[in-house]
Amino acid sequence: MLNISKNSISDSLKLEEFSSYHLLKKSKLRRLPLVIIGILLLLGCICLLLPWTQNVSAKGYITTRSPEQRPQGIQSIIAGKIEQWYVQEGDFVEEGDTIVFLSEIKSEYFDPSLLERTAEQMEAKTQSVDSYSEKVVALDKQYKALQDGLLLKRKQIANKIEQSRNKIKIDSIDLAAFEINLSVAKNQLSRTEELYKKGLKSLSDLQEKELKLQASQAKMSVQQNKLLNQKNALANLQIELLSADQNYGEKLAKAQSEKQTAISSRLESVAESSKLRNKLSNYTERSKLYYLRAPQSGYITKTLKKGLGETVKEGVNIATIMPEKYDLAVEVYVKPQDLALLKIDTEARLRFDGWPAILISGWPASSTGVFSGNIVAIDRFISENGSYRILISPDKNDRDWPSELRVGTGTRAFLLLSNVPIWYELWRKLNGFPAEFYSKGNERNKSVKRKAPIKSIK
């Protein structure tokens, strides 16, 4: 009896008088709870000795390892106004398919004949370059002709100088002969005067000798003047030679100056022609940017600009494309205290949102509906959320991940560490201790370097 009420009947009722009481008192059912408790304690002790796989639990989502396989924005390199859309959200596009057509919004590109007029300017400037090139060639010929003319002029004056010198020599010889004739005439006149005084010569003979002397003197004077004139002519020829050098030097310098001016103008025209060619090339390439095309095959997941007539700036996303083919990976974040326990190729068990699974973290072999993976990358710096980012790729030796998975799907990851008894794991968690190192030496601290494949760039 419970004896809950204040009005107890235990004094008036004696249980020993009932036979059923004696039967129950003799029964062994009172020992059954003790047996059950003993069995449970034994089973608990046995369970505590069972192996348990230590693990690090982390949450994350599905992503891709390759940057080009992730969702990317389609951007416009130039500013423009949306004129026509060629796709809708959810459409599949091939690489190079047109997404949207833009028109110009900058005034310097409004001219519809901009390319043709720029090409005409470039052609005119190219012809100007050719004209200056021809002018340089003509000035080269003129310079060569002036050099040849100077050479001929110098030869001509040199010949005249040589002739003048020869004439001076001849006139000098003639002057010397006239001087001798004059001396002879003077001697003859002196002897004739003596003979005239003695009466041996007549007056006419004397006068004849005087006339002959005067003629010799006259001839000598003429020859002296002729010799002087030849010397003056020689001096004039030498002066003419210097004058010719000076005149032709001025002409040659002028021709050379005009040539350098033509070369300078040609180089300026070449520079302006190159600028126009560059401008024409830029205009041509810019005209190709009016049509935004898909950078790779994939699905248009979202259009970020609304309708027609809306203007866009350079580098602004217009739409988002998800590549058709991609290699899945899981991105999770672990606490800094667990980072030292992880390394490349560490095994992991994954549970994806939307896929039913029965997961026992310590007994991965007994779990169902989970998928396997391996750590392929561990960040070297901490993230903004205070944890370290880890990438997990599918295990090639296990079953494939579901093909229906999409980038961004939530994931729960269990990174498998060492096997320990259950009692030790309970004791560790009760004390808040981290998982221990169960590798000899510094094997866990050795990092595996994955070298990126080298691709040649053409």
182 and 247 fall within a common domain:
yes
If one counts the domains in the chain, the total is 4
DSSP 306-371: -STT-EE-TT-EEEEEEESS--EEEEEEE-HHHHTT--TT-EEEEEETTS--B--TT-GGG-BS-E
In this predicted structure, what is the pLDDT of residue 332?
92
Mean pLDDT, range 138-160, rounded to an integer = 89
Q: Is residue 10 part of a domain?
A: no
Residue 224 falls inside a structural domain: yes
Q: How confident is the model at residue 420 (pLDDT cuts 50, 70, 90)?
A: low
How far is 348 from 391, CA to CA, in rounded Å?
11
Give yes or no: residues 352 and 210 share one domain.
no
Q: Which of 143-147, 226-230, 356-360, 404-408 has the lowest mean pLDDT?
A: 356-360
Tokens of 219: 């001839």
Q: Which residues contact 365 (CB under 8 A, 6 or more apart)?
A: none
Q: Does the pLDDT of residue 181 top 50, yes or no?
A: yes
Secondary structure element (H or E) that encloses residue 233, with its range:
helix 203-288
Cβ 328 vs Cβ 78: under 8 Å: no
Q: Answer yes or no: do 220 and 294 share one domain.
A: no
Same domain, 303 and 397: no
Closest alpha carbon to 268 in 165, 405, 125: 125
pTM of the predicted structure, to 2 decimals: 0.55
| pLDDT of 297 higher than 60 | yes
Residue 90: DSSP 8-state: T
- What is the pLDDT, as a whole number, of residue 327? 84
pLDDT per residue as tens digits for the range 19-66: 666 665 655 555 667 777 877 887 777 766 666 666 677 888 888 888
Structural domain span for residue 32: 15-48
Whether 366 shows a pLDDT value over 70: the answer reads no
Same-domain pairing of 247 and 183? yes
Average per-residue pLDDT for the chain: 80
Query: Sign of the CA dihedral 376, 377, 378, 384?
Result: negative
Q: Are residues 58 and 80 in the same domain?
A: no
